[in-house]
Each structure stands twice: as C-alpha cells, then as structure tokens.
Chain A
Amino acid sequence: MGVEGIGARVPRKEDKRFITGKGRYTDDISVAGMCHAAFVRSPHAHAKFAGIDASAAQKMPGVIAVLTGSQLREDGIGDIICGWMIHSKDGSPMNMGSNPALAFDTARHVGQAVAVVIAETNAQAREAAEAVKVDWQELPAVTTGDAALAPGAPQIHENAPNNLIFDWEIGDAAAADAAIAGAAHVTRLEIINNRLIPNAIEPRAALARYDEAEEHYTLWTTSQNPHLARLVLSAFYQIAPEHKLRVIAPDVGGGFGSKIFIYPEEIVCLWASKKTGVPVKWTAERTESFLTDAHGRDHITTAQLAFDADNKMIGLKVDTIANLGAYMSLFSSVVPTYLHATLLSGQYVIPAIHCNMRTVYTNTSPVDTYRGAGRPEACYVVERLVETAARELGLSPAELRRINFIREFPYQTPVIFAYDIGDFDASLDAAMAAADYAGFAGRKAEAEARGKLRGIGMSCYIEGCGIAPSAAVGSLGAGIGLWESAEVRVNPVGTVEILTGSHSHGQGHETTFAQLVADRFGIALDSVKVVHGDTDKVQFGMGTYGSRSGAVGMSAVAKALDKVEAKAKKIAAHLMEAAEGDIEIVDGEVRVAGTDKKLGWHEVCLAAYMAHNLPEGMEPGLKEGAFYDPANFTFPAGCYICEVEVDPGTGHTDIVQFVAADDFGRIINPMIVEGQVHGGVVQGIGQALLEGCHYDPETGQLITATYNDYTMPRADDVPLIDVSTTETLCPSNPLGIKGCGEAGAIGAPPAVINAITDAIGNNDLTMPATPETVWRALAANATAQAAE
C-alpha cells in the first residue's frame, strides 16, 4: 500500500532520460573503430543465383569487406530456426525449410539478404552494396496463402510440397459437424485477417564487437529478450559459446513482438565483427524494416457458428490458411496454433469446436508474433460471428452474448484452455454504461439529420497470456521454458536493486517493478533500482512479450521478495530478541508488533552485511533470487464498444467514441495499464481502418514499404479512449495479475468493424475498412437495392 506501492498511479522514474534526449538506443551507441554494414538484398520475390560479383564494390572508398552467404556457411554459422515443433494431423513434423542468415543460392522474398558490405561509413557501405552484382535468375512468385496451396503454384522449399508447412487441427470435427448439421441457425463468414507490419518507431539495429584478446563478443541490439538472443545465437547459430557472448538490449524503442527474434542482421554483424576485426554496426532504414521485420496476422478463414432454437451456441467450425511467409520465424508455428485456436471459445459456452489450420510458405516476409500474436485473429473470428449472428437472429448484440456467457469457473473449453476466473457480465455492463449504449438510437437519428451514418459495435474478448507454464508448453512443442527470473539485492544501506529477466521497451518496468518493493517494505520508490537488458549483469530470463512481465516477471520478483522478507525478519527478530512471527515491516521500519521496539529498515540491512550479530548458522548478506514458472496461462478479458460515424459520400469513418472495459486482475499502476490499453486499442484501430500490407501478386514486390503507402494511425485518426477496469484476481500467481499489454490490439478490431458494418448496413467488409472499401460497400448496397 502507500503512495508508491501496488495500485499507485506513480509517474515513471525512467522518463527523465527520454524527455531530455538522453536515452541510449542501439543506434546512439558508438565504439572506437566502429564500421558500418549494409546488406545486399534481393530485389526479386523469388530468384536463384550462382554468383556474387563484389569486384567493383570492393574497390569503392572505405570498403573493408564484402561477405557472402557461402562464406557464412563455410564458417559454420547455423541456419535460423523455428523454436516450436508442431506436427500435422498425420503425425509428420512441420516442414521447416532451410533459412540461412545470408542466402547462398536462393532468395525467397524481396529484401532477403544475400551479402553484406562492411565499410568505414554508413553511406560508403550503402553505396558499395548497390555496386554488388548478383546473377539473379528470377522464378515465379506467389504471395497469398490460398494461391500458394493451389496445384501448380511455385514451389518455395523443396521439403514442403505444395508449400504446406503443416496441416494441424484442434477440437472435435465430428462433434462440430454434427452441431452444424442439427442447428436451428448457422452463421457463416469468410474472414480475412489482414497482414500487418509492426513498425515500432525505432528501426532495428545491431552493433557487434569482437574482442580478439578475450575471444569474446559483445552485441548491442534492439531486442525484447537479450538472454534468449544469447542462447539462440550460441546454441543454434554457433556464433560462440554463451559465456563468450554478451548481449545488451539497451533502451529499445518499442517491440510489439517484432524484436523478439534473432534476425539475420545481428547474426551477420557478429560473424563479420570477428571476420573483419572491426566492430560492425547496422541500423535498418525504414524500408528495410518494412521488408525484413517479422510481419503479423495474414489469415484466410471460413467459420461457422451454430445455434439451437434457444439461441444457444452449440458448435463452432473454423478452417484457416495462415501465411507464414518465405521462412519459418522463431515462434511462427505457435502463433496460429496454441496461441490462436485455444481462444476460439471466446467468452461463450460452446460445447463443440473444431479448427483446422494449414500454414503455408509464400514469397513474402516471414510472419510471426505481432501484438496479440494469434489471439487477435481468434477474437476477430468469434466476435464478428457473434455480432453477425445477433443481427441474423434479431437479437441485440448484448442479449445474444449474455445468453451464451460462461459464468461458472474454472471453465474447461473444448480447445485445451481452462479459464480460471472471470466476470464477463461485469465488463459488458461497465462498457455499455460508459458508452451510453441506451442512448445510441438518439445519436444515430441526430447524425442522420446531418447526413452521416452512425453505427455501434461491440467486442467481448478473452485472451490467453502470461506466457506460460514450461512443462505445458514443452509438451506442446516449445523448445524453451517460459518461466521468469528475478534477483533482489538489498544493499548495505538499505537501497534495493531488482535484477529481472524481463525487458522494458516502453512498459515502465523501472517504475512498476520498483513499486513492488516500495509496497513490501515501505521504502521510497527512489531507493529502488531495476536492472535489465544485459546478459552480463542479469541472470538468465526469457524477456518481455505475451503480456508476461506482470504475471510472470513480477511473480518472480514477489517470490524473491518473500525470501528477502523472511531473512530480514529473522535478523530483526534476533537483534530485537523477539519472535519471528511478531516482526512487521511497515513504512521502512521493522517493528515488533504490539510493542514500540523497532529498527529502521536500513539498520537491519546493514546488520546483514556487517555480520557482527547474525542468528547462528545464517550466511551474511541480504540478496535472494527466484525463478517463477507460471502454473497456468492468465485470461484477461473485457468488453470494447466502438461508435462510428461514416460519411456516405466519401466512405470516411470517424471514430466518435471508443470504450474499453477490461479485467486485468491486480493492477500495479493504473496509469501504465491505461497507457497499454490506449496503445493496443489504437493499433487495433489501425488494423481495422488504416493498415494494409500489400504485395503485388504478380511480381511479389512489397508495394506498401514506406509510411507514404502503409497508413499508420496518427493522432487525428483516433479519439480519446475511455478506459475502465473491473477486477477478478488471477488465482494462479502470487500477485493476482493477468496482464494487459496486448488486450487492446486483440479486442479492438472486431468492435470497429462491427460498428462500421452496423452503420452502413452491409456486413461484407474486409479490413482495413478504408474510405474506398466502405464507399464500395455502400455502393454495393445501392446496387442490391436497385435490383430488388
């Protein structure tokens, strides 16, 4: 408790360096003798090559070396892997195509790196890269999942016939089919979840330095998980044994999942730094980011939701093709499977569910986790079906949902996940009240008088995060465990350092993690420092993604704090000749309950380190570590309501209101949580209204490769977001935290599309609902009406 403890709306400690321009992002860092890397990238979506002619490039000013994929291979650098094994229905393992960091004979997407130029300046490197000649032999390319599976499509990897990576399923097909066959009503939708490009505003970067004398590498890089990077670089990419590789993720300018992976560029910079003997830095240009950052989403789905005569859901059948791009990225296999299909029950009792998932190679950038990672796709399918069904059945969207809400917990869904706790009615009630849902009809009429079409749409989402119980994910194919680590170091003077395996790239951990200590011992937030991001300083941890820092990272801190608290109490009891059970730590003081005997927190800490008078057998010091392995996923849930006004003349959509009512369990800092919801919702609005990643189907060129063509949400595209929370504490971790980082991106898109389709009276709308798309849908209405 207290002004700086759990639940407090504390401004961030870390802000000072960011608001004064003293942040240290990877591109800000320079080392003596540093040179620059520029990659030679394929201009073709699919092409073979036999020779790279670097002769002209090597002669250009400042050029130190031109290195190729063949050389990388000769030096034994390993291929990039996907770290999660998924098997097809027939038991065969996923068809993982070989994925070298520098291609040596085939490029499979525009922008794939085939060589690297190292030069003294960035400009020299980029100029020389343009002078490298590659004898490209263009091959036909395919860019969409369905076209790639069709007979006769260009074959992208030899070991993946028809470009199929895996054909997976979950649930009970027979039961779902039977439900649909016997249903009183079936709602059917064809759904596209549009491909997105994460676009963190900081472009990816890597700075690698090899110390010849120590035979030791240092890598600064834009990573959400430096320890995982070190492990993978060492164990799979053969850069160096772990103890000879230090990875530092300094200030990182946003990740959203795109900075989880270990990309070709950091592998190559490390390798090149040893090969050339100079430190090597690379920073992406924005177009490079568009081309090479892992993309998100890209699902083509047919879905059917079956109801009985009482409007109760009896079955759900989903069939999806997921486009994974040209290569399997690190977590690409789990995003459309265990992070997606396991959420298809939504907030509803659905006795029979089946999902068939086919993943496919295409000549596009690899697809992997992007904020929500599989759960936005699931929520979009379910919530579009439910809203559509309500319209077809003549029920209000709220009514149909309430008839089908899960109300008894724990609830075992037919798709592996068992929801531990929730109160879906509470979120729906809160959202409807905040949105003045009842008053919508009046607002609609008023808008109509102004010539505008008003619509309202809702989305009752649930997601699975706080990733994840290690044994469970191991049994599902994960190549790693998903616990988290923390060390709490109390200094002799009573200040505290938390060393966490979590990484902060915008989430405010330097404040929120410190709040846990302030809360526990009643010491000032300013006395606590959070250390993260450096594999030399911090014990192994799994990093930040999957909304896990609160649920998993903070739980590790809490466990370590338990140990510190216990030891401090033992010392205090000994010093004050009291029973351990009578010791309380409150407001920075260590007291014997019911007496006026007390010591200052700092006195107890000092005693631990002076070791002059410790209990018999106790080691000096006050420093404890913990590893926390989650007992379960967590299940944040909520209700979002979006109200829009569409201009029928232009098809332009104005979001006039967006209400978010979430249940995140325990909230450590409401200000931080609201910020996460704001940011997630706006990314969701981006997907629904603005963002579209387009590849030319003939040439495979990425035609949305700059901010001119790919429409990022800007301040005048979105309103203020009304954020409120209800709370059902998560039963599976000590603090009761569910997590909040991805909910906005998960819940928002269906709310927006449900609102626009309501406004225009046409349910056939594909994201992004650009003015042209909406205008055409309105025109289609007019045509249909004229035909009647």
Chain B
Amino acid sequence: MANVSMTVNGLAVERTVEDRTLLVQFLREDLGLTGTHVGCDTSQCGACVVHVDGKAVKSCTMLAAQADGATITTIEGLANGGDLHPVQAAFKEHHGLQCGFCTPGMIMAAVDMIERYGGKLDEKTVREELEGNICRCTGYHNIVKAILAAAQ
C-alpha cells in the first residue's frame, strides 16, 4: 500500500492506495473525477491525458505513487468557475466533439500543445502533435480547426 498526496485541481488530497494503482484509476475511482477516461490498455488512445506539473501526461502510464507531491490538472479543473477555458470553448464552437469520450484527453493535449508552441501552430504540426490521441467519431477535421482557432 502506498500513501499518496498531491494537489488535484487546486485541492490537496491524500489517500492510501494499492501500490499498483495507476494515476488514472486514482483520479477516477478514489477521487471520483471521472472526466479522465480509459480507452485502451496500451497507452495509445490518449483519453487519459491530464497535466502533471504542467506537462501533458497519459495518466494510464503513471502510478499514482509516482505522482506523489505533484500538481495535477484534470479536465474538471480547466474551466475558471463558470468560464470555459478558450480551448473548451473552441471545441464547442467548432463542433470538435461528437460522442465526447476522447474529448477530455484531446482538450488537455491541445492546451499543452498550444502552450509549448506559444500559440504558433499550423495544421501539419497540430496533426502530428495529436498522434497520441485517437478519435473515432470526428475524423479530426473539426478538432484541428478548434485547436488552430484556440491557438490564436
């Protein structure tokens, strides 16, 4: 068993969990933050992307214990009270989601990508950067449009 403490969406949390608990399981099951999703078992799909200490990370590839002491932001922590994050708003405006299951991971990956590129993104770069996020519904067309719009 491991004692893990971290800050998640601004709140300090502390739990005792089995050593093998993945960060995504910790978020979903121990903290009830079900916005981060599990879509695969080989770290390919990206539905589980969160921010750990300011970096986009696939939360299925980390143990909760590895995140001990870290600052985590999940999709639930992105909006500022009632105000949507610009990337969230762009996804809605540009119809960048259909079933919504890949969407939290997409948005978190997009926020990170926009930050790393200082907002200077083109279509080719966005598509390459999205290699780690699989969507089955949208064909990526409107996701790319949303991210390019939000980047501005």
Contacts and interface: CB of A to CB of B under 8 A. Distances in A.
A714 B102 contact: no
Contacts of A252: 99
Contacts of B136: 198-201, 254, 256, 679, 683, 712
A715 B99 contact: no
A16 B75 CA distance: 12
B139 A721 contact: yes
Interface size class of A (residues with CB under 8 A): 35 or more
Contacts of B123: 720
A253 B100 contact: yes
A718 B140 contact: yes
B67 interface: no
Interface stretch (A67-75, A319-327, A503-511, A579-587): A503-511
B57 interface: no
A28 interface: yes
Interface in B24-51: 28, 33-42, 44-45, 47
B126 interface: yes
Interface of A: 11-12, 15-25, 27-28, 123, 198-203, 251-254, 256, 283, 285-287, 505-508, 671-672, 674-675, 678-683, 706-708, 712-716, 718, 720-721, 744
Interface string B122-150: 01101110110111111111111000000
Contact of A678 (B34, B36, B124, B141): B141
B42 A286 contact: yes
Contacts of A672: 95
B142 A20 contact: no
Interface in B71-130: 74-76, 78-79, 84, 88, 91-93, 95, 97-104, 107, 123-124, 126-128, 130
Nearest to A744: B139
Given A671-B95, A707-B45, A202 B39 contact: yes
B106 to A, nearest CB: 10
Contact of A715 (B18, B103, B104, B130): B130
B20 interface: yes
Contact of B39 (A16, A198, A251, A286): A286
Given A21-B35, A123-B20, A507-B98, A707 B137 contact: no
Contacts of B95: 11-12, 671-672, 674-675
A681 B139 contact: yes
B122 to A, nearest CB: 12
A726 B70 CA distance: 54
Given A201-B45, A713-B140, A715-B126, 7 more contacts: A19-B107, A201-B134, A203-B38, A254-B136, A681-B139, A706-B41, A715-B140
Given A123-B20, A201-B47, A19 B138 contact: no
Contacts of B124: 716
Given A506-B99, A678-B142, A682-B140, A19 B134 contact: no
B37 A202 contact: yes
Nearest to B134: A712
Contact of A22 (B44, B76, B102, B130): B76
